[in-house]
Amino acid sequence: MNFLEAFDKGTRGAALDAIRRSYRFLYESQRVAPEDIREYKLSRLKKTYSYAKKHVAYYQKAYSHLPDAIDSWQDFLQLPILTREDASRAGEKLRGDQPPPGARPLEAIRTSGTTGNVVECIPTEVSEQFRSAVSLREFEWAEINPAGSAFLLRALVKPGHPDSDALRSGVRAHSWATGYIAQFIDTGPGYFIDVSASSRHIAEFLIAAKPDFILAFPSALAEVAKWVDPMPVRFVRTIGETLHDEWRDPITKAFACKIQDLYSAQEVGPIAVSCPDGGGYHTMDEWVHVEILRDDGTPCDPGEQGRVVVTHLHPYLTPFIRYDLGDRATRGGLCKCGRSLATLEEILGRSFGFVRMPDGTMRSASPMFYAFTGIEGLFGAQIEQPAINAFKVAIVGNNAAVPQVEHAMRETVGDSASISIEIVNELSRSNSGKIERFRWTGN
């Protein structure tokens, strides 16, 4: 669906007009010449760099030997890589001493630490308006009718949340939209349920809702699919985890529809979305610059796998420049669909394991990490389940974080579980160098 018509009939206002302009730009830019996109990105990178060099303490130190401005892609490629560990430990030093020009800061977003490190980012009105326009283009690619109903299955509950029980049972809202989008597009109802609910209960809530489309963590939805007789929906959108074939197949069979897979990160927003006409992913080039790099730091060729490194193109109070997400992906070539946005063939990113519950059910581990969001003094966590109702938690943090971590764990696994917590200097890694967030090590 082309949302331009919906915009033109909507309410007015400076913020909404900015989103309309951005959406019109995105509607056209996806099919311009690749060199035009590169020129646009370089102009945005220059602004991001200049702001960071002048106003952000971390970059002032990291870039102390570099000029106040960059003029070319060659200059950009000389900038050092920012790792998640760097970003986590930098803390407020990644925050600008004043907002970018014309950009009012919004509430900080704090990642849950599911990658081993807690990172804070502060968006602005300007960045979120453009981000809303990017989301609308994704909806357009999926041919979503906003008047349809949506079923949302994701981590929603935080410790102490007043609606925790309701969200685990399932909640109906008059609209599925949030943020700016909800202000000018009338949508159908939304059905919200937390992934910590049992798969059978989620399935019952889903069947009763009869939604037009589903937005969900793929691991959780694949488990729910086992409890669902084939019930066609118009569209499924997967978020939060890498969509593996072992999850794609049961989802496709249960819901008989296309799947749009969104690759994103809380601190940078949408990174890539599956092409509506092909099997790969398009990177959101007007929103974020995506590099796929070899271990030696050189760019990968099409078909070659490497590290995912991203850079903000729109004004954040905490800009991320050449930020290594800790994920890996395979660089793609020119897409047959005609869109000039760059592509990824495959994303080897993050995935959550499953907690074995005493009643024999399996539940996504993601709510445990989500519950850690906002804990002061916590910089990363790793959970091992050696037996039913037993958990070992390794944290990078201080003593003050320990009781908060235990409380958050009990909110998700119950008071009867055995929980041990150890403070470590760094989290353990697999042979491939990845931090495994959750591991089942029982028999």
Helices 218-225, 245-255: axis angle to 10 degrees equals 50
Q: Within a domain: residue 13?
A: no
Q: Within a domain: residue 113?
A: no
Q: Would you say the C-alpha torsion 139, 124, 52, 57 has a positive or negative sign? A: negative
Strand 288-293 to strand 305-312: parallel, antiparallel, or no bridges (unpaired)? antiparallel
Rounded-to-integer distance, Cα 244 and Cα 238, Å: 11
Bridge partner residues of 387 (DSSP): 390
- Average pLDDT value for residue range 203-231: 92
Residue 30: how many CA atoms within 13 Å on its side-chain side?
A: 22
Q: Are 285 and 34 in contact (CB under 8 A)?
A: no
Strand 269-274 to strand 259-265: parallel, antiparallel, or no bridges (unpaired)? antiparallel
Q: Within a domain: residue 161?
A: yes
- Per-residue pLDDT, 433: 42
Q: Which of 257, 285, 310 is the last residue before a domain boundary?
A: 257
- Average pLDDT value for residue range 329-344: 93
Q: Degrees (nearest 5) of the Cα angle 408, 159, 150?
A: 120
Q: Which of 227, 257, 287 is the last residue before a domain boundary?
A: 257
Q: Are 378 and 397 in contact (CB under 8 A)?
A: yes
Q: Within a domain: residue 407?
A: yes
First to last CA, the chain: 50
pLDDT above 60 for 198: yes
- Express each pLDDT in 2-17 by its tens digit: 555 655 545 557 778 8
**CATH code of the domain in which 222 resides:** 3.40.50
Q: Are 192 and 171 in contact (CB under 8 A)?
A: yes
Percent of the chain with pLDDT over 90: 57
222 falls in which pLDDT band (50, 70, 90)? confident
Query: 3-state class of 411 per DSSP?
Result: helix
Q: Within a domain: residue 36?
A: no
Rounded-to-integer distance, Cα 76 and Cα 20, Å: 31
Q: Which of 226, 257, 288 is the last residue before a domain boundary?
A: 257
- State residue 173 phi and psi, 5-degree precision: -120, 160
- Per-residue pLDDT, 351: 54
**CATH code of the domain in which 374 resides:** 3.30.300.30
Helices 14-29, 125-141: axis angle to 10 degrees equals 50
Residue 90: how many CA atoms within 13 Å on its side-chain side?
A: 23
**Per mean pLDDT, which range of 53-57, 236-240, 273-277, 364-368 is the poorest?**
364-368
Rounded-to-integer distance, Cα 130 and Cα 20, Å: 9
Greatest distance between any 2 Cα atoms in the chain: 62
- Per-residue pLDDT, 69: 95
Q: Within a domain: residue 428?
A: yes
Q: CB 422: neighbour CB atoms within 10 A? A: 10
Domain membership of residue 375 as a residue range: 354-440
Rounded-to-integer distance, Cα 112 and Cα 379, Å: 9
429 falls in which pLDDT band (50, 70, 90)? low
Q: Within a domain: residue 378?
A: yes
Q: Within a domain: residue 158?
A: yes
- Express each pLDDT in 103-154 by its tens digit: 999 999 887 655 557 788 999 999 999 999 999 999 899 888 888 999 999 8
Please give the C-alpha separations between residue 355 and each of 251, 373, 437, in angstroms, as whole numbers.
Answer: 20, 19, 12
Number of domains in the chain: 2
What pTM value is reported for the model? 0.79
Residue 40: how many CA atoms within 13 Å on its side-chain side?
A: 19
